[in-house]
Amino acid sequence: MPRAPWSLPDLTGRTYLITGSNKGLGYFSAEHLARAGAHVVMTGRHPNRLAAARAALHRRNPDVAFDQVESLLLDTSNLGSVRAAAATAKVRGALDGLLLNAGIVHPPEHRETTVDGHEVVFATNVLGHFALAGELLPILAAASGRMVWLGSMSTSMWPYNPVDPQLVDGYSAWRAYVQSKIATTALGLEADRRLREAGVPVRSVVAHPGYSTSGRTAGIAGVNEPTKLTRFTDNLQAVITQSKEDGALPLVQALAGDGVEGGSFWGPRFVATGAPRAAKPSRITRSREIGERLWTAAEEATGVHWPFAAAANGVPEPD
């Protein structure tokens, strides 16, 4: 029987790292990849939650071998944690794909900063991923792999121009979230342009999950435990929402599916719901000027300059 358009090929022998995989889209992305035979590196900030998620994955998928899934501590809001996790990942071996999923979906009401002095939403959703992707670029290039940035359909509805990406002035929780998603999408597209220009064999892709809610997702101890009120309110929106498990499909299709080109943008067929399909990112995220501006801002904030020349030539980074 032919595979459905969104289903994954056999991923046996391939390795994928997912940020923020102890719950939500990251967890279900790990399940989809592991079921297809991939070796999966689940990451998260809290060791106990990460262990609970890994245990849940094996409990729900008994055919997945224990050593097929491993865990790695990683907090994308902390650049020291990003560097440490990247160093560990590099010595563990090949990497076929990197899913930049972790993030703050419900930002704080008032502006907060990280230990590195950056606005917490921009740091978690954008800067940590920019730094991680740059650090892991050589091993991704060695496998001709992919990196997938997590976008959002919100960028089409509220096209905030991130002239002040860390919102030093005019902070609001919603603006912090939307700007972070504009930035991740714009950086994902800019990364593809730069990778092509440098001749690096890595595809940079952006994907979004549509409108995926915890209340429409299976209950899993330690992973997804919505309240009765959440179940009720989310099910009132059933026509325009889907589960996190379905929301993860565009992400894993972009990461490991067939027919995915660098610089493409993937999401549900009906924008908020449906099987994965290639779509068109919002106009603001396609701006080269905005992509270049955000790239410079990310380099300055993280101190990470992607090793394009070394990755193109297959030269390992110095220790």
Catalytic sites, residue numbers: 177
Question: How far from 79 is each of 117, 213, 305, CA to CA, in Å?
Answer: 11, 29, 14
3-state secondary structure 191-251: HHHHHHHHCCCCEEEEECCCCEEHHHCCCECCCECCCHHHHHHHHHCHHHCEEHHHHCHHH
Query: Which one-letter DSSP state was computed for residue 79?
Result: H
Residue 54: phi, psi to the nearest 5? -65, -40
Of 124, 133, 109, 186, nearest to 155 by C-alpha is 186
Inter-residue contact 77 to 123 (CB < 8 Å): yes
Of 247, 283, 244, nearest to 266 by C-alpha is 247
SS3 (DSSP) at 313 = helix
Of 281, 49, 258, 43, nearest to 149 by C-alpha is 281
Which tokens sit at 249? 């499909």
**Interhelix angle 24-35/249-256, nearest 10 degrees:** 50
Of 244, 222, 216, 255, nearest to 18 by C-alpha is 255
Inter-residue contact 226 to 217 (CB < 8 Å): yes
SS3 (DSSP) at 106 = coil
Distance CA 307, CA 318 (A): 11
Q: If you search the block for the tokens 């860390």, which residue do you land on?
A: 166
Q: How far is CA 305 from the centre of its chain?
A: 20
